[in-house]
Structure 1
Amino acid sequence: VGHSGEERRDMVFTLPWETAAAGGGDIRGQWAWQKVYHLIGEHIRTRDASVLDKVRALAAQYGLAVPYLSR
């Protein structure tokens, strides 16, 4: 997703699922870390304390050790 001039653009590629490589269990952990980074960025921008609750819940669900969030 991005912009080209004043227009917003989204690049979507249709690929057959049958030819996709199988993913391992690490995909879940990588997704969770990316979501945590996104939420931390959201907290920095908004200073909304409820976002940290979302980070804590996600960290607990996926067994992530997130610095500065222990209670």
Structure 2
Amino acid sequence: MLMVISPAKTLDFETPPTTARFTRPQYLDHSQELITQLRELTPAQISELMHLSDKLAGLNAARFGSWDPAFT
């Protein structure tokens, strides 16, 4: 089986979620490990790693910096 995962270029943060139920993500600990490593990268390095424009790399660098696992 082949699976393609494509990142969204834009996200809608204005529309309220359609559900109020939340669960703890299964791989939250792994996510924290990845974020710790990604926070060490510059936007230019993120751009090269993820094949993103400079604008999206900067946006992702900011998102990595503000990521907090306490959302659940």
TM-score by length of 2: 0.27
Asked which structure has the greater CA Rg, the reply is 1
Higher relative CO (Cα under 8 Å, sequence separation at least 6) belongs to 2
Larger helix percent? 1
